[in-house]
Structure formats: structure tokens, C-alpha cells
A and B are shown apart, each in its own frame.
Chain A
């Protein structure tokens, strides 16, 4: 599951990856014509909309790709760098950069490409931008208040607008298609030529239908989480599924005698329930945690016995099946759920009729456990649900 950094690719290899990505980035920008001011500023004077076409196609491709990877459970967006939002500095910075664009004719990335193929004006531009950073650095103490004002955190645009992610992607795609068409009309007018603004060649139709098919696939193939949840909720499926179970007696025994710290209880009850009776050695867990990269690591610790606990066995079964389908091993459920555990162990009442064997073994243990366990439960302080401890990748420009 992505991102591959820092767990699969780490440290210095990441720098080699950066270099390779940079090479491809530079090649594409140069091939697209971003190494000349003629193409870049054409956008603002209406004679060449290459930048608009490249930029929006790239942004949309990546955006839809990110949605797709997340949809199929391949990319954990909790770990991906989301540019922070500081409202006023974003607006002011944007306007200053816009002014710099029409005066300088480049932006930083494109100036590097242009300089690489020998454009002297781009080299002057780069010198200017280094001076600009220096100027910023020197005036930073004055600007700091403004720079850090209106901190909204790291919201995503569909959250800010209060619409669904797919709706935003759809609207933006539609807007981009409209803009591409409109740009062609303006281009024709400014350049005094008559080119067709919409092309119905097999190439273009093929490309468009591939995009539509991809978009439709997200309706046909539901996300991994949705489909797993649906599968375990099918009537009779979870009950009949073969899982390893731990009896309440073994559970109690392990709670009392867990000197090696082998037992790991994943508590799927809601917070209110956990507060009433908190289990020692337990980690609060949710369905979402199973799909998140950082919390689910708890399940991968070697030598641990993972016991899924919930009020009823059915919930435990559902969660355990999902965990198993996600590839987690050594998952057990608590037989009968915590309800059974309470009835049999914590609130143990010796039945009137019992065999000698039962009295001497099972019931003696249960009686002992029913006295000692409440002390342990009392001692263990309730803790909150797993909070994303994972380090987001540090990014940004």
C-alpha cells in the first residue's frame, strides 16, 4: 500500500528516486514547450493555450488517479502530503506570483528547463528568484504574522466546499473540457486562423472513451472497504465463516498470566462502552483502523496473539474476517464476545449442579478470575481511539 516512502523505499534511495522523477519532469516540461516564454505567456495574451492544456490535463489525470488509488485501497491519503491552507498568504502569494509570471515570463520550474537548454533570460530569472527568496528570508520576521494567519489546517477542497469528492472531480473535469474548447476558439480569433475547435478523430474519440470507461469503473467496482463490509454483512456469511476462537476461560487466563506480553486485545467497542469496562492490554480499534497503514501495523507485530473483542461475537467475526481478507494473520476472536466473558467469568456464579471435575477445575479458576480481573480492569485507565501517529511525508515547495 502506498506511499512506498518511508517504509519500502527509504533514506538515500528516495533521493535517487527524486533525481529520476526530476529527469522525467524536466523532459516532459521541455517537450511540452515550457522552455520558452513565447509559449508560457501566450496563455495570458490569448495566442497560445498550451500551458492551460498541459496543466489541466496533468492535474486532472493525477487527481483522478489519486482518487482511484485511494478507492481501491492502494494509497493511504492520511500519509500523503496535503498542502496546508493559510488563506491570506495563499491569496497574496498567488497574486504576487501571477504578477511575476507576466513580468518575468516564467515560473520557477519552467525557468529551470529553459536555462537547461541555454535560455539566457531564464538564467537571469533564476538569479532573480534566488534574490527573491533571500529578500523574503530577510523580511520574514516582519511578515511572519501574515504568513501564519488564517491557518485552516490541511483541508481538501471538497471538504471546504461541502460536496463529495467525485462531484468535485466531475465538475472540474467538465470545466476543463469547456475551457479547452473555449481556448481553441480564442486562439483562432487572436491568431486569425480557422482551426477546428473540436476534433472527432479516432484518436481523440478513443482517448475520451477510455477516460469515460475508467470513470465508470469506480461505479462498477466498489472500493475495497465497501465491498468487504458488504460481504461480511451478507446474511449467514459471518456466522458460518471458520475463525479461530479463544474461549472466555483462556482469555481470562491469559489476562491474568500475560507475563510475556503476548496477548494483544483489539477492542472494537465504541468509546462509551470502553469507559465502562476497559480491558487491560487492549488497544481501541475501529473498522477504519484496519484499512489505515499506521494503526494496522499493530496487527503485524510478530509473536503476538491478536484477539478481536467486541460486545457480541458477530461483530468480532465481521472484523476478523475483514482483517483476514486484508492479509493479517494470527487473528482470533473471543468466543461469545465480551457479553459471554462477563457472564461466565466476571459475574461468575457457581451453578448448583456440577460434576466434581468441573467444580475442581473450571469453576475454581472462574471464581478466582472473577475476583482478580475486576482489579486489573479497574487499574487499566481507559485510553482514546488510535490517533494517526504516522508521520506524514514532509513535502511542499
Chain B
């Protein structure tokens, strides 16, 4: 069976907007992703090196803000849902396959290094910017938060500004 086509972008956007609106109405908060990465990292660090996390400022501040442990967190549950939802969608549209994607001119090594470095940058950037494309940019736009919209503008401005230097990775 051939891969089915992707959804019309405007329809997908409209549905995503309705979901975000419903999320705001039901829970009083927006969608997110990087917050869950933070929870996972904190949980792992607290398990591996409890002595260190007990004294390090980042972890103590986190523990102060999140009672009930790092994994009992709204975003952790939401992100588990994202994994399930994307899997179901891939199953329905016949897109489930182990696949390594890269630009036509990039080597495997380059792509791995890029993915890793890009991930690290997102890990740092999303903490500094208090959210990623979902939590800061999209959800921030929905509630018209100044901070969220500033972060959004600079994510896209940064990406366009740096795109030329990394074109070998993609085109």
C-alpha cells in the first residue's frame, strides 16, 4: 500500500487550533513538549545522582516548583499521548517504518551529528526561552503572551538567519 497523502495544511491547522483552544478552556494552559523533556531529564538525574541533584540549584528550584515528583506532571502525560497519537496516525496512514532521513547531499555521519547537535541546542534553547515551538510559540500566540510571541519571532528569525549556512544538510 502506498503512503496516504498528508492532510490539507489549513485543515490540520484549524483542527490543531481547536485542540489548543479546548486545552486552554479545559485546563487553563496550552500544549507543550520541551517541559516533558525537562521532567524526564530531572527524573533521570535524580535517580542516577541524588546527591548532586539535592544540592544543585536547577534541580532544587525545579523540585520547589513541582511537588509530587518530576514525572507526575501534566506535560509528561501529554507527551506520552503525543507518542501514542502519532503512532496511531502513522499506522492508519501506513507510514510506520524504521527510517533514517537526511538531505540528498548529507552523509549519514553528518546527519547524526546534526540531529544530536540540533537536539542539544533545542534542549538548552527551550529552557532558556521557557518553552519550545509548542509551549512558547504556539500556546503563547493563542493567549497573546508577549514573551511567547517574542520567542516565536526569534525561533523563526534565527532559523531563517542560519539556514543558508546549513543548506548542505538539506538541499
Contact = CB atoms under 8 A, between A and B. Distances in A.
A256 interface: no
Contacts of A79: 28
Contacts, number: 559
B150 interface: yes
A397 B6 contact: no
Contacts of A108: 33-34, 37, 122, 126, 132-134
Interface string B61-78: 100010000001011011
Contact of B146 (A23, A113, A159, A395): A159
Of B40, B118, B131, most buried by chain A (CB within 10 Å of CB) is B118
A56 B170 contact: no
The size bracket of the interface on A is: 35 or more
Given A102-B162, A129-B120, A27 B89 contact: yes
Contact of B82 (A22, A60, A61, A132): A22
A397 B114 CA distance: 23
A118 interface: yes
B54 interface: no
Given A94-B155, A121-B115, A83 B147 contact: yes
B88 A27 contact: yes
B125 A65 contact: no
The secondary-structure label for the interface of chain A is: helix
A55 B41 CA distance: 28
Interface string A75-90: 1010111111111011
Given A57-B12, A120-B99, 17 more contacts: A15-B72, A15-B74, A18-B81, A22-B78, A29-B16, A58-B12, A58-B20, A65-B18, A81-B30, A90-B136, A100-B120, A109-B82, A118-B90, A129-B122, A132-B122, A168-B144, A397-B75
Interface of B: 6-7, 9-10, 12-35, 37-38, 40-42, 44-45, 56-59, 61, 65, 72, 74-75, 77-90, 93, 95-102, 111-112, 114-163, 165-167, 169-171
